[in-house]
Amino acid sequence: MRVRVPVCWARRSLRLRLTAAAALMIAAALVGAACLLAVWLRMSLLSGLDQAALQQAQVIAANADSGSLPHIVPATGNGDTAVQVVGCGGGVRASSANLAGQPALFSFAPTTSGTPVAHSVRDLPLKGDGSWRAVGLAAGGGSDRATVYVAVPTAAVHHNLALLTVGLAISVPPAVALLTGVVWMLTGRALRPVEDLRAQTAEITAGDLGRRLDVPPADDALGRLARTLNDLLARLDDSARQQRGFVADAAHELRSPLSSLHTQLEVAVRHPASADWNARGPALVEESERLSRLVDNLLRLARLDARPRLRRHPVDLDEVVFREVRHARLRTPLVVDQRAVGAARVCGDGDALARVVRNLLDNALRHAAARIDVSLRVRDGQACLSVADDGPGIPVADRCRVFDRFTRLDSARARDTGGSGLGLAIVHDLVAAHHGRIRIEDNDPGARIVVCIPVTDP
């Protein structure tokens, strides 16, 4: 069973997803910033401790160099600093009061530059179990060489970092919640125009394609979306109008031969004694052939509207022209001159190209008085096929209109000669499918229809 989700819930779900994603990004950004702040603060505080320890070690080393180093080094700061001056033999020559009587507690090499190289030290015999930052500095010279070690506690750094961590843990969640609420409101405001467009689109039906969506005044992505949807609706409206007109015209064209067939058959059935089948037979066959051609043309146009993929392969267009001219000569006493047909090879569908040539010849046969001239030549990378007749010609104002479906400039004569107004429309669509062009020129007298299709590379 399919469950239909209400539109409001679908919109709320999208809003929730967007807000949740934004909340995760905000939380990740704030947590990352907090971690970076904590790391930076720890490094800054430890660097300050190392610098202070080195400065004190430099003062004590200067006293040792001058020979004025007391056995008990006076305390500095809050008295928690640990100092030991260790001689070459490993004996303690001086120390701070909190390390008096202790053996040498430091053994790392002293620093030789102005930049302190501090070491983390634990387990000093002092109150508390915290860690210490210790630096070593060489003093004296010769046999009187010694190393001054100064260690400062890091308890204050850890305490400050703990306070910062607690502060961040307390402040980050409310900040995330506040920013999430702001995102929730902004997302709802941003989705409201989208919901309006969706609601307007849902109200448009197949019979009401003339309606258009309200375009927001701002020239942003939403405005471009609304204009694009309106363009889509306009194209759908035009397509629907063309389809309705096509169906109406097809029904009108089909009704005429069907009515004629029905009338003649009905008369023959109701009056069998008076029915002269030898006289009526050719007319019935002619009407059935006209009906068959019309249905075939309608099927061809329907397939072209479905935009099928043409079978593209090299086609010798001159051979197609010669074959169709031979067939046309069997149907007419008119002169069909093909002496101007030259070799030309194109890439396309052989059946579709044969239909193009056949329709052009059929059109010329219906209008020519005595002669039809067919030519084919290659010019500027185009295979140009020309079919000219010596009929009444086509007025300049109607030369674009004749390619529309069911267009007949002389409807009575066209119907009498079997025309349905679809032949040139099929030619136009097939030539366009082959990336070609079609135009109508004067033949003086008559009309010349020229089709140009790109040739294949040699």
The distance in angstroms from the start CA to the end CA of the chain is: 61
As a whole number of angstroms, the distance between CA 104 and CA 448 comes to: 115
Per-residue pLDDT of the chain (458 residues; tens, 9 = 90+): 343 444 444 455 666 777 778 788 888 888 888 889 888 988 888 888 888 888 888 888 888 887 787 888 886 655 578 888 888 777 888 888 888 888 888 888 887 666 668 888 887 887 766 788 888 888 877 667 888 899 888 888 888 888 888 888 888 888 888 888 888 887 777 777 777 777 888 887 777 777 887 787 777 777 888 888 888 888 888 777 777 766 666 676 667 677 777 777 777 777 776 666 666 667 777 667 777 766 776 676 666 666 666 788 899 999 999 999 999 998 889 999 999 999 999 998 888 898 899 889 988 998 898 999 999 999 989 999 999 999 888 888 888 888 877 666 654 334 445 456 777 888 888 888 888 999 999 888 889 999 999 998 65
Strands 72-73 and 92-96: parallel
Render the burial of 311-341: b for 16+ CB within 10 Å, e for the rest.
Answer: eeeebebbebbeebbeebeeeeebebebeeb
Could you tell me if 49 and 119 are in contact, meaning their C-beta atoms sit under 8 angstroms apart?
A: no
Q: In this predicted model, what pLDDT tens digit does every residue of 329-364 receive, in sequence order? A: 988 899 999 999 999 999 988 888 988 998 899 889
CA distances from 248 to 23, 243, 244, 287, 296 (A): 58, 9, 6, 20, 17
Q: Is 145 left (phi over 0), alpha (psi -120 to 50) or beta?
A: beta
* pTM of the predicted model as reported, rounded to 2 decimal places: 0.50
Cα dihedral sign, 90-95-98-101: positive
Neighbours of 115 (CB within 10 A): 10
* Secondary-structure percent of the chain, ordered helix, strand, coil, rounded to 5: 55, 15, 30
Chain position carrying tokens 């030991």: 84
As a whole number of angstroms, the distance between CA 434 and CA 455 comes to: 10
